[in-house]
Amino acid sequence: MNSDASAPKPLAANEVIKAASNLLRGTLVQELQDTSTGAISDDNGQLTKFHGLYLQDDRDLRNALKKEGKEKAFSFMLRVRLPGGVASPAQWLVLDTLAGELASPSLRLTTRQTFQFHGILKGNLKPLVQRMHHALLDSIAACGDVNRNVMAPPNPERSAALQRVYEDARSWSEFALPKTRAYHEIWLDDALVAGGEPEQEVMYGPTYLPRKFKTGFVLPPSNDSDVYSQDLGFIAIVENDQLIGYNVTVGGGLGMSHGNAETFPRLADTLGFIPADKVNVVGHAVLTTQRDYGDRTNRKHARLKYTIEDRGVEWFKAQVEERSGIHFAPARPVHFTTIEDPHGWHACVDGTEFYGLHLLSGRIRDEDGWPMKTALREIAEIHTGDFRLTPSQNVTISGVTPEQKPRIQAILAKHGLHKENERSRLRLNAMSCVALPTCGLALAESERILPQLLGKLEPHFAQAGVASEAVSLRVTGCPNGCARPYLAEIGLVGRAPNKYALYLGAKYNGERLNRLASPSVTLDGAVAMLAPIIQRYGTERHPGEGFGDFCDRAILPADATFHSVGTVATA
């Protein structure tokens, strides 16, 4: 067979779908009216992602339904767009009500500071989006090949600088929204204004980006949103309590596929320093460079990290400088110490306080002895501040006045939910992705086995006398890395039912990836491997040495170089 190696590769199927979609409309309106199935076509399924919606099915029911010759139990997941994770009490109450009335009863806080509904039946999609809209909430660009939910430090009123960082994050999020009216037409029944200006995606163009694109803002010493895992990162530089600018990072990303060495997690490179008022212009240049040069032929090679890996960071920096007209100054020194959310009560400069509430895996539901949904609803009913979703799937009850504090404390106490001090740091720092039963890509359990895994690991940390050490444990049901497991000191990544790859040795502050310690272990096998390491950590660690640093120094062989790109580079 003749093949011409120089012939251009065909575009990925998604590129053809986007191009033919009339700016993300496809035939969604018609398909939503089809009541003969709970599903939609694959092509339209790719487009709904840009509207924040995923078609899923209940994987617990798959086999039984197949045996009965029935359609899969289809439903949709909806991800809210919530830059910086801020929701008012009124919005909380709307979301709480919708979960149960029009979706599964539980709400899920994500690793990128937003809410997800699961289990929305096709016929409930429009009413749900419309009721969210009345509460000034939407799901535009929460998923899809666009700039996704922008992450930002969750408690801006802790300082004037943080407030400014939050505002810059919001501004970039708005700036980089798609301009199509498709969402409004399809879900909110907005008619196109006849004779109006022709619709144009000036920044994205008609085929948007080659792949998803993520932005995170951080303010050292906290690296709570794992800035080096973001396609585009802004590290706030503060002098004399004033924000003076940002170090800009590019090309982070974590997703990979088991057994495919061409896919890998990668930490971002630092391009340099920019003044604070240049965020949008630099963001625009980064995004359009990726728009023009990202790989549109292979979705497994389409993230910005591969564009930079292939073409070099100096080339990329030159592109951004040329497009933005801004010359990067040398990066300012930054020092990260933690990724942990603040738990319990904390004071803010405006005289209010916030309460950092720990939620395992971000799940909000009522369980015996753990009535999280009821408690948060009761708080929302009286709260005059707001709620902040954190990058570690927790929530802070923010802007609490001295008068309100006793009332909120009483609600937490009544429901037994003020126990952050009694939890191990391992538990407080743990994260897991959703995985089964809703995630179509899950190879193994994640959220559902986290409590069991913690229950088995915590006694080892206690026995070794290190229960109060902050240790990051992150579990995912597949190598896509939704709970950022490659930046965890202990990372477990699903391969098959009860089979996980075990990774150790990341730096706690998110500046170094972990390395493969075992390619395939059961959960019990992982606990058995970890037990003696935890014991040794208790007795052999250097003063102040984190668990990840200890594993990197004393446990992992020096030649265990699973990740080739594992350090923070500065261009």
What positions carry a catalytic annotation?
Answer: 79, 148, 212, 214, 433, 439, 478, 482
- Nearer to ligand SRM (CB atom), residue 303 or residue 383: 303
Binding mask 118-157 for ligand SRM (x = CB under 6 A): ------------------------------xx--------
266 touching ligand SRM, by CB under 6 A? no
Q: How many CA atoms lie within 13 A of 191 on its CB side?
A: 3
- Asked whether the beta carbons of 307 and 319 are under 8 A apart, the reply is no
Binding mask 293-312 for ligand SF4 (x = CB under 6 A): --------------------
Q: Which amino acid is at 23?
A: L
558, containing H or E segment? none
Beta bridge partners of 400: 353
CA–CA gap between residue 396 and residue 349 (Å, rounded): 16
Residue from 110, 480, 509, 514 binding ligand SF4 (CB under 6 A)? 480
Give residues 443-462 in contact with ligand SF4 (rule: CB under 6 A).
446
Q: How far is CA 472 from CA 284, 392, 448, 492, in A?
A: 34, 10, 18, 11
Binding mask 419-458 for ligand SRM (x = CB under 6 A): --------------xx---xxxx-----------------
Q: How many CA atoms lie within 13 A of 151 on its CB side?
A: 28
- Nearer to ligand SRM (CB atom), residue 52 or residue 245: 52
Distance of closest approach, residue 174 Cβ to ligand SF4, in angstroms? 27
Judged by beta carbon distances under 5 to 8 A according to partner kind, the member of ligand SRM, ligand SF4, none in contact with residue 114 is ligand SRM
DSSP 364-404: E-EETTEEHHHHHHHHHHH-SSEEEE-TTS-EEEEEE-TTT
Give the count of beta carbons closer than 10 Å to the beta carbon of residue 39.
19
56 touching ligand SF4, by CB under 6 A? no
Phi/psi at 193 (nearest 5 deg)? -75, 115
Distance of closest approach, residue 62 Cβ to ligand SRM, in angstroms? 14
496, containing H or E segment? strand 490-496
Give residues 327-386 in contact with ligand SRM (rule: CB under 6 A).
362
301 touching ligand SRM, by CB under 6 A? no
CA–CA gap between residue 534 and residue 464 (Å, rounded): 7
Tokens of 38: 């709970």
Judged by beta carbon distances under 5 to 8 A according to partner kind, the member of ligand SF4, ligand SRM, none in contact with residue 319 is none
Three-class SS of 280-349: HHHHHHHHHHHHHHCCCCCHHHCCHHHHHHHHCHHHHHHHHHHHHCCCCECCCCCCCCECCCCCEEEECC
The region of 105-113, 236-244, 283-291, 417-425 touching ligand SRM under the rule CB under 6 A is 105-113
Site size with ligand SF4, rule: CB under 6 A: 13
Distance of closest approach, residue 213 Cβ to ligand SF4, in angstroms? 17
- Nearer to ligand SF4 (CB atom), residue 393 or residue 476: 476
Kindly tell me the number of DSSP H helices and DSSP E strands found in the chain: 17, 22
502 touching ligand SRM, by CB under 6 A? no
- Asked whether the beta carbons of 324 and 282 are under 8 A apart, the reply is yes
CA–CA gap between residue 302 and residue 263 (Å, rounded): 10
Sign of the alpha-carbon torsion through 402, 403, 407, 413 = positive
- Nearer to ligand SRM (CB atom), residue 331 or residue 482: 482
111 touching ligand SRM, by CB under 6 A? yes
The region of 80-88, 92-100, 288-296, 441-449 touching ligand SF4 under the rule CB under 6 A is 441-449
- Nearer to ligand SRM (CB atom), residue 361 or residue 404: 361
The region of 15-23, 193-201, 371-379, 478-486 touching ligand SF4 under the rule CB under 6 A is 478-486
Binding interface with ligand SRM (CB under 6 A): 54, 56, 77, 79, 110-112, 114, 116, 148-149, 212, 214, 229, 253-255, 303, 362, 393, 433-434, 438-441, 480-484
